[in-house]
Structure 1
């Protein structure tokens, strides 16, 4: 079923959005003196809209919420042409995602469970407590990351801001994922959980 986006472009857009997201701190570092912040705001706004287009008919409520938050943030950055807001994008995204993880605990199915279902797996009932704790851990990790990123905005040099937000924060997340995968295998063996 067509989503109105050519197939080749539809495959390319998620990669482009991911690359721009990963490169954002370095783009800022290399161009902060040459390019006005409102151009970065415009880039973020375009990326948010492309992300929504890529989701196509599979758009979830979370896709709309994330797009709306980025659109508002980007629009304010464009209007204020603010270097501080330019550097606050990683702070805002990390804090926002952390809150989404924690607020999802009040729903019937938390965000981790929804990710599992979206990936085609139905989590077993005995994993519910584990998934809830994992959701709390992700929420807290993202809020901690946001706090450190905020510190780099206000108290660190542009080079330190770039290093943390462009490399160290990703290594922190990757390290957490590795630790969680190792622990998940241990947990599944301990509780005799077999993947369906």
Structure 2
């Protein structure tokens, strides 16, 4: 549990730390933040292939930042996170149980086929979100100022995620009412 809290904190604060550190600290030293982000994911390595690829990708970005002393590899981390989430959610669509259903089943509930189909659609919506969010993060990393990149990856993308969570929650309430689930 403490590592999960640390992972969330590091992930949330990462874009802001990069923005504040830019110009103050060399990118090769800021790479330590990305190394910390990767280290917080180490407990998940036994559980998930996506976590292994995500950590490996983060380590490649750390190496590139240290070697080049450029900020770009560090700005690509949110792109990597979106790619990893897309991979996990997308892969689940090739299995009988989608990612959203897998998370819902943590409550110990079984779901009728209509609810399973709904959760598969929600997983697809999240896949679209990760594609669009990752593409926007990539675009801001390449072509926008550090302030714009930080604002998008550290504030706007989380606000959009919250809006999607909220909208899905309202749709789910309606779905449950209509289908008596």
Quick one: which of 120, 123, 138 aligns to 1:150? 138
1:66 is matched with: 54
The 2-side partners of 1:93 and 1:56 are apart by: 15
Equivalent of 1:112 in 81, 85, 100:
100
**Is 1:17 equivalent to 2:17 in the alignment?**
no
* Residue among 112, 115, 126 paired with 2:114: 126
CA drift of 1:163 comes to: 1.0
Are 1:42 and 1:78, in contact at CA under 8 Å, matched by a contact in 2? no
Alignment length (residue pairs): 181
Mapped partners of 1:32, 1:93: distance in 2: 21
Structure 2: which 5+ runs fail to align?
none
Q: CA deviation at 1:21?
A: 1.1
Assess, with a 3 A threshold, how the Cα gap between structure 1 residues 66 and 117 changes in structure 2: closer, same or farther: farther
Residue ranges of structure 1 left out of the alignment (5+ in a row): 1-10
Give the counterpart of 2:87 among 87, 99, 105. Answer: 99
- 2: CA distance between counterparts of 1:91 and 1:71? 14
Match of 1:86 in 2: 74
- For residue 26 of structure 2, what is the aligned residue in structure 1? 36
Partner of 1:162: 150
Residue 188 (structure 1) shift:
1.0
> 1 CA distance for matches of 2:71 and 2:96?
40
Per-residue CA deviation, residues 45-96 of structure 1 (Å, 9 max, x unaligned), is 233223323x597x34443343333333333333333311111111221133
Q: TM-score normalised to the size of structure 2? A: 0.87
Match for residue 183 of structure 1? Answer: 171
CA distance in 2, matches of 1:165, 1:107: 30
Give the alignment's TM-score, normalised by structure 1. 0.81
For 1:137-181, what per-residue CA distance to the aligned partner results, in whole angstroms no more than 9, with x for missing partners?
001011101111122122222211111111111000000000000
State the SS of the aligned residue for 1:107.
coil
The CA deviation at 1:20 is 1.6
Distance (Å, rounded) in 1 between the aligned partners of 2:42 and 2:143: 34
**Displacement of 1:121:** 3.2
CA distance in 2, matches of 1:62, 1:98: 10
